Amino acid sequence: MEQLNKEEVVILAIETSCDETAASVVKNGREVLSNVIFSQIDLHTRYGGVVPEIASRKHIEKINQVIEEALERSGKTLGDITAVAVTYGPGLVGALLVGVSEAKAISFATGKPLIGVHHISGHISANYIEYPDLEPPFVCLVASGGHSHLVITEDYGRYRIVGRTRDDAAGEAFDKVARAIGLGYPGGPKIDRISAEGNPEAIHFPKAKIAGNEYDFSFSGLKSAVLNYLNSCSMKGEQICQADVAASFQKAVVDVLVEHSLHAVREYGYDKFAIAGGVASNTSLRREFEKECERLGIAFYHPSAVYCTDNAAMIGAAAYYEYKKGVRHGYDLNAVPDLKLGE
């Protein structure tokens, strides 16, 4: 038993669910030995969003190079790794298939175990990397381009969703509003940056009220309110102030995310709260959570920006706990574009 506890588990992790081709080598779930990300953003920018077909083709072109680099930087060889992990859903099916096929090939060639990981479980587990003492249970807000979920992490890899978006994901709203005000893709970081120069109180955008579940989110009404505001300015021949629109929109999103999340933390009786996903790197969101968590005596955890947006280190962190539980996938592992979390 002592021997097993001291076992060094080195996981080669692969992530290709959207437009980042990523590979990482992670030791014992918390120590990142390498983290290589090839971002395809430049390729997709001209289309105003991710083009699935282009993403898959780029993944297949880059995947071996990215893995080779991850191994090289970690100082490990394929022979040194304990297991190979890969995101198998949710995500773009063609993009996921590249990573899944690659991981299966490596597992088959080396005889090392294969572990399929849920992308959201990866995002949540990104918090383990920089907080060695963080242990479940805790509440986590996952806000990315495809998801806005309020999740109770009951144990490693064991989740209960208590709130979700009824329509657009938070990141999707950032991307759509950024496009509407002429900032381009990807919208989140651009709105984040320009908001610093704007007045968040300049325009009052409504917060969505959801009937049924007080922890659910809705962002499509807010998006429509921004579009209506832009239309009415254009009809009146008024110039819009990009920074004010961005800051006011961002405030409306941040207020709702903070309100619902911390309400859930208190109602469910937890004292630890984490954030994850691309939107978790938003400056204003982090600042507000920091302030409110301190006021309420809740411990607040947030990954560095590089571990918020898609990466493979987070998949390696999640895979470690799956490995410890004995989870092993067979060579029939498939990509599951709508894979559910904790159901």
Q: How far apart are CA 191 and CA 201, in angstroms?
A: 15
Query: Number of C-alpha atoms within 13 angstroms, CB side, residue 81?
Result: 35
Q: Does 90 bind ligand KG4 (CB under 6 A)?
A: no
Token duo for residue 343: 């159901």
Count of residues engaged in binding ligand KG4, rule: CB under 6 A: 19
Task: Report the DSSP pairing between strands 10-15 and 20-27.
Answer: antiparallel
Window of 152-160, 202-210, 225-233, 272-280 that interacts with ligand KG4 by CB under 6 A: 272-280
Tell whether the torsion through CA atoms of 41, 188, 100 and 33 is positive or negative.
positive
| Torsion of Cα atoms, 328 then 332 then 336 then 339, to 10° | -30
Token duo for residue 190: 């651009």
Window of 23-31, 156-164, 279-287, 288-296 that interacts with ligand KG4 by CB under 6 A: 279-287
Residues that bind Zn ion (CB under 5 A): 144, 310
Considering CB distances under 5 to 8 angstroms, the limit depending on partner class, which of Zn ion, ligand KG4, none binds residue 171? ligand KG4
Q: Does 144 bind ligand KG4 (CB under 6 A)?
A: yes
Considering CB distances under 5 to 8 angstroms, the limit depending on partner class, which of Zn ion, ligand KG4, none binds residue 309? ligand KG4
Angle between helices 119-130 and 313-325 (to 10 degrees): 100
Q: Does 188 bind ligand KG4 (CB under 6 A)?
A: yes
Q: How far apart are CA 159 and CA 97, in angstroms?
A: 25
Which residue, 19 or 310, is less far from Zn ion as judged by CB? 310
Q: Which of 95, 278, 96 is nearest to 186 (CA)?
A: 278
Considering CB distances under 5 to 8 angstroms, the limit depending on partner class, which of ligand KG4, Zn ion, none binds residue 19? none
Q: Does 174 bind ligand KG4 (CB under 6 A)?
A: yes
Which residues bind to ligand KG4, rule: CB under 6 A?
18, 144-146, 171, 174-175, 186-189, 192, 277-279, 281-282, 309-310
